[in-house]
Amino acid sequence: MTAAVWTEPFTNEIIRELELEAAKRFRRHQLPSNADEWNRMRKTLLPELKKKLALKIDHKLDPDCRYTGTVQCSAYSIRHLCYQSRKDFYVTASLYVPEGKGPFPAVVHLHGHWHQGRLAASIQKMGHILAKSGYVVLSVDAFGSGERTTRHGEFEYHGGMLGGLLLNLGEPLMGIQIIDNMRTVDLLCSLDFVDSSQIGATGGSGGGNQTMYLAAFDDRIRAAAPVVSVGSYQSYVGGTNCICELLPDGLDLCEESALLAMIAPRALKICNALHDCNPAFHVSEMARSHTEAKKVFSALGVPENISTLAFNAEHSYPPEVQSAVLGFFDFYLRGRGHGMPAPLPEYDIVPEEKMLAFPKGKRFAGVCSIPQYLERRAAELKKTANGTPDELREVLRVCDENIRLSTRLDKENGWEKYSIETSRGRMLPFRVRPGKTARWQVLASPDAQNALESAGLLAEAVNSKDSLLIFDPWGCGECGYAEEMFPIHFKQHQLARSLLWLGRRLMGEWTLDFLRAAEFIRTRDPKALIRLRGHRDSGLAALYSAVLNPENMQGVDLVDSPVCLIRREPRLPEEVMTMALCIPGILAWGDVEHAMALVKCKVNVIRPRRADGTLLPSFP
């Protein structure tokens, strides 16, 4: 094993650097206090946001609502159903309907990160409360949750790598949820017992996030109440929020305050917990976004239509908030009361198994899982994917960069240590062992040098006569950072997400690392013959760098690396790959095979894997 390059490795410095950039963006994206300026900004911003989220909605498509059962409750009933959000893409839901003729006001109810989705007792509560208070409620399963999991009846977390790989299609999980939710409004408007002019939306945590995006993009939502979900885009950088709350390149465009302002002049009530465990949702972060958004509400002459509630609890949707939201809807959707908290009715929770739209394991084929959708859409994209190296550079956000400073620090046991600083201020630790031939091997792994040893790469390289250059990819090993606040269990979750908010790609950073290694070698020996050897995800970075700059390249080795960018399993006992594999739009450019076809040198694939880390029995 070679010794570390630096006496002190990086820990939190990289994340702090990104947090500083996010803080700058917050100030850059302050909102105007003039109505005309806001209207101009909104007109430009709205289509840009829709493009980033891939929002393509056919409001004329038949919802093809299929009812599968009913639960009778006191003064209302719950109808189980699924409906068509997009062509042959169905959503499972529960429709709470009060007794009587109607038409009734309606509420879209969106759940947070409960693996059971709309079935969970904590999610049912608001449906029961609103239905018994005279509202039609449509409660839907978010994609990958509830009855929309990989195996029907087996609940799973839809975030991490599972939901993150949807980015590779160019379809963020958040965008898919928004489309589903806007089609939920279409379905409500088609029901003769619903007053289509009086529709609201609410949800907690991830459901609150969905609520504010739905209300921002759909003017039919008259009143919105997001709970424990409003913070700032700045606070998401360095945080651990779910991938379903990610707007790719969000901080290139705006701050969360702009999203809230897009709801104006309609009604918005923001509820945050004083003791939230997630700093992104602290009341102080909500207050920053509220202050900015209120400027727009005031400019439009409706400052009273935006309000906040800071409640004394942890991350939850407790009775105090349920009462406040009920009173809010009574005022804005029914014209009753003064918007103050309303008394809560009594109700009974329905057992989860009785809330299922389909018997366990017998789901309608039109309701697909995330892996099924990934496989289907990837096959469609493959038919037209034929990207160029220049287009790959844009997809990976690989920018102009070179080595600004190369400092030789020491030599130990035949290994030279170099501290590299690039023109963009990135720092990399290079370990170099001079060889006896013109051949160079460049080795890297996201799991640092230990993984190179366990994979057999290091011993093989050391026993050769080649010159060697080993480095830890940016954000890994000596270039790493402290573990994130929550045990998310997805490698590079925090760093990959933070970069995506800022318009960067972790795979692009690693590709730049290999390019800098090759630059370092060519500077020492312009005639060097370079072989890039990447372990796991860094194998793709090696491959992409050879596509972008083939100079002096003699070969690329992908060892235990993914050779396709979709997955079949929701989650393995241990995640092998990192979230560097989540690359917005990469499959429209081409999958790994396409990159291999563009490389001008030989590509060796050793122990090929899928994106979920499972071994492939063979690879062409």
Tell me the β-bridge partners of 462: none
**Whole-Å CA distances, 383 to 218, 374, 386, 396, 611:** 33, 15, 9, 21, 20
328 plus 397 within the same structural domain: no
Q: In this structure, which amino acid lies at residue 372?
A: Q
**Higher-pLDDT residue of 572, 166:** 166
**Same-domain pairing of 362 and 413:** no
Evaluate whether residue 601 is within a structural domain.
yes
Domain stops at, among 356, 381, 406 = 381
Structural domain tally of the chain? 2
Q: What average pLDDT does the chain have?
A: 94
Q: At residue 486, does pLDDT exceed 60?
A: no
Q: Count of residues for the chain?
A: 620
Residue 8 lies in a domain: no
What pLDDT was estimated at residue 84? 98
Q: Which residues, in sequence order, are CB contacts of 467 under 8 Å at separation 6+?
A: 432, 433, 434, 435, 437, 439, 440, 441, 521, 528
- The residue behind tokens 């699924």 is 82
Indicate if 76 and 120 belong to the same structural domain. Answer: yes
Claim to verify: residue 450 and residue 367 sit in the same structural domain: no
404 lies in the same domain as 373: no
- Reduced to 3 states (helix: H, G, I; strand: E, B; else coil), residue 308 is strand
Which pLDDT band, with edges at 50, 70 and 90, does 485 fall under? very low
Strand 89-98 with 136-140, pairing:
antiparallel
Do 498 and 577 have their domain in common? yes
Instruction: Give pLDDT, residue 533.
Output: 98
Q: Mind giving me the DSSP string for 559-616?
A: ES-BSSS--SSS--SS--SBGGG--TTHHHH--HHHHHHH-SSEEEEES-B-TTSPBP
Instruction: Give the DSSP per-residue string, 374-411.
Output: HHHHHHHHHTT----HHHHHHHHT-----EEEEEEEEE
Strand ranges in 274-389 using DSSP code E only, listed in sequence order:
306-311
User: Which residue, 365, 381, 397, sits at the end of a domain?
Assistant: 381
| pLDDT 10s digits, 210-264 | 999 999 999 999 999 999 999 999 999 998 899 999 999 999 999 999 999 999 9
Residue 489's pLDDT band, with cuts at 50, 70 and 90, is low
Residue 72: count of CB within 10 angstroms of its CB: 8
532 — pLDDT class (breaks 50, 70, 90): very high
> What does the pLDDT read at residue 117?
93
Beta-bridge partner residues of 269: 307
In this structure, the answer to whether residues 350 and 446 fall within a common structural domain is: no
Whether the bond between 265 and the residue before it is cis, its omega within 30 degrees of 0, is yes
* H, E, C per residue of 534-574: EECCHHHHHHHHHHHCCCCEEEEEEECCECCCCCCCCCCCC
Closest by alpha carbon to 223, among 189, 258, 265, 188? 265
**260 within 8 A of 305, measured Cβ to Cβ:** no
Cβ 244 vs Cβ 206: under 8 Å: yes
CA 169 – CA 535 distance, rounded (Å): 24
24 lies in some domain: no
Measured CA to CA, the distance from residue 139 to residue 92 in angstroms comes to: 9
Q: Are residues 161 and 191 both part of a single domain? A: yes
**pLDDT, position 375:** 93
Mean pLDDT of 324-341: 97
For residues 382-409, average pLDDT: 97
Residues 341 and 426 in one domain: no
pLDDT of 576 reads 80
pLDDT tops 90 at residue 491: no
The answer to the question of residue 82 being in a domain is yes
Same domain, 549 and 427: yes
Least confident of 12-16, 91-95, 602-606: 12-16
Running DSSP on this structure, what letter comes out for residue 61?
A: S
Q: Which of 89-98, 156-165, 275-284, 289-298 has the lowest mean pLDDT?
A: 156-165
Within a domain: 612: no
Is the pLDDT assigned to residue 430 strictly greater than 60?
yes
Q: Using CA of residue 597, residue 598, residue 601, residue 605, what is the dihedral sign?
A: negative
Q: What is the mean pLDDT of residues 141-165?
A: 93
Q: What is the rounded distance in angstroms from the CA atom of residue 389 to the CA atom of residue 173? A: 27
The type of residue at 527 is K
Strands lying side by side in the sheet with 403-412: 403-412, 415-422, 427-433, 467-471, 439-444, 529-535, 553-559, 602-606
Look up the CATH number of the domain holding residue 590: 3.40.50.1820
Specify the pairing of strand 104-110 against strand 89-98. unpaired
Distance, in Å, from the CA atom of 180 to the CA atom of 157, rounded to the nearest integer, reads 18
Tokens of 464: 């050769």
Closest CA to 404 of 432, 439, 428, 374: 428
Is the same domain home to 405 and 339?
no
Kindly tell me if the per-residue pLDDT of 568 is higher than 70.
no
What mean pLDDT comes out for the span 447-451?
87
CA distance 279 to 228: 11
Question: What pLDDT, in 10s, does the model give residues 463-479?
Answer: 999 999 999 999 999 98
* C-alpha span between 309 and 292 (Å, rounded): 17
pLDDT in tens, 42-64: 999 999 999 999 999 999 999 99
What is the sign of the dihedral through the CA atoms of 289, 172, 252 and 223? negative
Residue ending a domain, among 381, 396, 421, is 381
Assign 482 a pLDDT band (cuts: 50, 70, 90).
Answer: low
Q: At what angle do helices 35-52 and 283-299 cross, to 10 degrees?
A: 120
pLDDT at 573 over 80: no
**How does strand 104-110 pair with strand 136-140?**
parallel
C-alpha closest to that of 513 among 475, 555, 557:
475
Classify residue 5: in a domain, yes or no: no
Quick one: pLDDT at residue 566? Answer: 83
Say if residue 365 is in the same domain as residue 416. no
Percent of all residues in the chain with a pLDDT value above 70, rounded to a whole number: 97
pLDDT of residue 402: 97
290-305 mean pLDDT: 98
Is 611 part of any domain? no
Which range of residues forms the domain containing residue 390?
13-19+384-606
Per-residue pLDDT band at 481 (split at 50, 70, 90): low
8 A C-beta contact, residue 152 and residue 119: no
